[in-house]
Amino acid sequence: MATIYLIDGSGYIFRAFYAIRHLTNAHGLPTNAVFGYTQMLRNFLKAGHAEHAAVVFDSKGPNFRHEMFPDYKANRSEPPDELIPQFPFFQPMAQALGLPIFSQSGMEADDIIATIATRMRAAGHDVVIITGDKDFMQLVDDHITLWDTMKEKTTDRAGVRARFGVDPAQVVDVQALAGDAVDNVKGVPGIGEKTAMKLIAEYGSLDAVLQHAPQIKGKVGEKLVAHAADAHLAKKLCTLKTDVVLAADLDDLRVRSPDVVQLRALCTELGFANLLQEFAPDAQATLNKNNYRLITTADDLQKLAARMREVGTWAIDTETIGLNPRHAALVGISVAVAAGEACYIPLAHCEPLFGMLLDGQLSLAVVQEILGPVLADATQRAIVHHAKFDLPILARHGLPIATVEYDTMIAAYLLEPGSGIGLDALALRYLNHRMIAFAEVVNPKTGRENFAMVPLDEACAYAAEDADATLQLAQILKPQLTAAGLDQVLRAIELPLVPILLAMETTGFLIDATLLKNLSTEFRERLRGIEQEIYVLAGAEFNIASPKQLGVILFDKLQLTARKRTKTGYSTSADVLETLAAEHPLPQRILDYRSLAKLLSTYIDALPTMIDATTMRVHTEFNQTNTATGRLSSSDPNLQNIPIRSAEGRMIRRAFIAPPDCVLLAADYSQIELRILAHLSGDERLCAAFGCERDVHAETAAEIFSVPLASVTSEQRAVGKTVNFGVVYGQTAYGLAGQLKIAPDVAKAYIERYFALYPAVAAYREAVLAAARESGVVHTLYGRRRVLTELQSPQLQVRANAERMAFNAVVQGTAADVIKLAMMAIDARLRTAGHATRMLLQVHDELIFEVPHADVERIQVLVQECMMQVAPPTGTFRVPLNVSIGVGANWAACGE
């Protein structure tokens, strides 16, 4: 007899969605849920459990329960916007992995699972239902068990009794009395699960409880008598159907071999680079490695230097201990001068046991003497993969590179932002070559703690392959980049930005650790105070960090209106709490607590641990290839996310300080995205407003509220501002309604009045989207592109989401290009004049500088000129790019 595994598809999908956030493919399609779901299925298959299994899905639309009760599941909220476009991928991915799938119109997944489970049990097989849903407990018997793979928890008969206090067959009777808020099944009002369990345990069944209802004392008996019909209906709704007509015999449930072609197609479309490698058995070691060699003598190194000068363009890569370019130790250097002609120069490989240097390695001094002049020759052109990592390491070791001709990581990012840009993934995609994995050569279990412990011959094979792949990738990517019109973006924006970002990372930001320590004490005291307020408002102590316990307090104890339910209970997300704040003061204090706790853990307590002991500064990393729109991001730590509008965020910014002989200067583009929208659309009224420096938010508010400009209130202006930026972000009426806490029809009217005020904006937006629907691509003013194939999707929600991303990519992407060009102009002016001013940080539309006291006035003029004089590819902007300047001893003071 076989064991059958039935997977609740919805359970996997929603768990994956909430476990992994903010993952997209090259075209901006959210992929977090598909990625997590795929990993969960792979882990299940890898465990070797199943010869027979299936993934079961709900069908769209109403089912037979809606015929019994039209309001069935009426309180279920729509799936999150980021999840909707991922639905088309779940079933194909399961099929491609070899798992049978089941879904039937008019049927819920629960009923299909119940039917297959009971059918297989009757045939003598054991069944394991993989789910976290308690509704399936009614099916449990000696041959059907539940398995929650997330909690590694198995539920058998004893488990059901421990959970419900009754046998599995009686679970549905408990649900009939208590109801099920998730599915909007009413049951008997006022009877909760505990009371229901007690009644069923005492009387044995729902029918027996209702028969004895007149003899049950108090309100419980009264409610049972009054709502007997509701209880009977609830039982029908909660009882799983076990006679669904479907083809599901043992062979239909057999797990097949993966469809590698389909898996590769899905992984390519979704941008799952690592999975793509796994599902590419036809990818082989296609690079010719016959001419890979070790450089172990000065004579061989001289020959390499001569060969590099002969070809003029070569690829270079470093092997290191550590991934921080400011501290990583250089272990070796690989160079490729032609396809298949590569070498490795080992410098610091050692014997694992005693740490003694291996023979046959050149000293760093010899490499500096022979190879250094080639690298420093401006006529020599280096190709790298991730220049911002390799360049500082080489420079710290006396081997600076003068000219970077190409960065294959940035080039690949420009072609497909959001896709895999690691060297291994790119080699697989463009060369059909499977690279040697780092884990194959460095493995602590084998005594190889780092690359320095890898034997020289293996190190050569690995490192020379990196350089060779980089060179060959450049040869493939160059014509593609040129054909896509992106070569100028690489050469005029992204590559020149690399040394500027490197300098900013190296400089770092001075931190007042004492102030942060004092803030930590203050914030903890405030948290304790809020905590006590929460307990008083709740009327009980509970774990504030537990959504489940908070849900019980809010919705069971305080009886607040439940806005959303998930499979695991009440939703206590920020948007839910914000809505509930109008009913009771507790939700707002929960929000206050969460906000303060996050600032404490993310910044106040974390930043002091990140201070470099040598510089006494925090050194963030700026990422050029992380966003789909071209914006820079910041990490380790993320200094772009410190709140600016809250008092607590400003308190944290006070800890970012200037040294004693300097001040900080903050230069911020004023409404840059709206100004770019005015330029791109050419809307006369919008251009005139910015040209005369009128208050565009007030003008928009006056229009949407139909009031004179002079009568616009601060609250109305705030709405006007939200509408202005909502248009830039492609916000729908529904999204705007949620943000402003207004009805969708009111939000729709606001948007319509906006476009009536600025008709050229509406025309421009439609022109952009019309062209994008045709080509699947949008471009910024400077040529950066974003591919959005979902613009042609037959699904309305998927298409609408792609349209929002498309228009936002044009405006926000152009703004990102503008500030990058401004950074380059400022850097060039500072270097030319020999100023001691240092650029420290970029926060989207803002630049922070460390300026000597004596230079403040000159630097203010210089920065404003450079930022305001950035020009489009031809001509000038239709509206001025205004820049506001703030100066202070700390970051917060710059905005005061």
Tell me the C-alpha distance between 329 and 396, whole Å.
Answer: 9
Task: Give the single-character DSSP code of 692.
Answer: T
Average pLDDT over residues 479-503: 96
pLDDT at 81: 75
Q: Specify the pLDDT at position 295.
A: 96
Of the pLDDT bands very low, low, confident and very high (cuts 50, 70, 90), residue 514 is very high
3-state secondary structure of 119: helix
Instruction: Return left, alpha or beta for 91; rule: phi > 0 is left, psi -120 to 50 is alpha, else beta.
Output: alpha
Q: Which two tokens mark 519?
A: 């803030």
- Token look-up 């999150």 returns 80
β-strands 883-888, 569-570: how paired?
unpaired
How many Cβ atoms are within 10 Å of 54's Cβ, its own excluded?
Answer: 23
Q: What is the mean pLDDT of residues 824-842?
A: 94
Rg value, the chain, Cα: 32
**Is there a contact between 580 and 588 (Cβ–Cβ < 8 Å)?**
no
Half-sphere exposure of 51 (CA within 13 A, CB side): 7
pLDDT digits (tens, 9 = 90+) for 394-438: 999 999 999 999 999 999 999 988 667 889 888 888 888 888 888
Structure tokens at 659: 């040294």
What digits encode the pLDDT tens for the residues 455-485?
A: 999 999 999 999 999 999 999 999 999 999 9
3-state secondary structure at position 329: strand
Dist. CA 685–CA 763, nearest whole Å: 14
Structure tokens at 303: 């020959």
H-helix segments, 628-671: 647-653
pLDDT confidence band for 346 (50 / 70 / 90): very high
pLDDT mean over 731-740: 80
Distance of alpha carbon 683 from alpha carbon 680, whole angstroms: 8
Among 104-108, 835-839, 848-852, 891-895, where is mean pLDDT lowest? 104-108
| 599-637 per-position pLDDT tens digit | 999 899 999 999 998 899 999 999 999 888 899 999 889
432/555 Cα distance (integer angstroms): 56
Lowest mean pLDDT across 101-105, 141-145, 474-478: 101-105
Classify 864 as helix, strand or coil.
Answer: helix
Domains annotated for the chain, with CATH where assigned, are 3-168+242-253 (3.40.50.1010), 283-484 (3.30.420.10), 521-610 (1.20.1060.10), 674-811 (1.10.150.20)
Look at 741-745, 763-767, 790-794 and tell me which has the smallest mean pLDDT: 790-794
Query: Greater confidence, 736 or 112?
Result: 112
Residues 125-151 as b or e (16 or more Cβ within 10 Å = b): bbbbbbbbbbbbbbbbbebbbbbbbee
Q: Are 389 and 421 contacting, i.e. CB atoms less than 8 angstroms apart?
A: no
How much is the average pLDDT of 302-311? 97
**3-state SS assignment for residue 706:** coil
**Contact call for residues 131 and 114 (beta carbons, < 8 A):** no
DSSP 517: H
pLDDT at 49: 65
Q: Is the pLDDT of residue 74 over 80?
A: no
Q: pLDDT tens, 635-682?
A: 889 999 888 878 888 999 999 999 999 999 999 999 999 999 999 999
The per-residue pLDDT for 280 is 61
Q: Give the tokens for residue 664.
A: 């900080």
Ranges 20-34, 128-142, 235-249, 465-479, most confident: 465-479
Q: How far apart are CA 414 and CA 406, in angstroms?
A: 13
Q: Which of 713, 730, 724 lies closest to 750 in space, CA to CA?
A: 724
What is the per-residue burial (b if ≥16 Cβ within 10 Å, else e) of 724-753? bbbbbbbbbbebbbbbbeeeeeebeebbeb
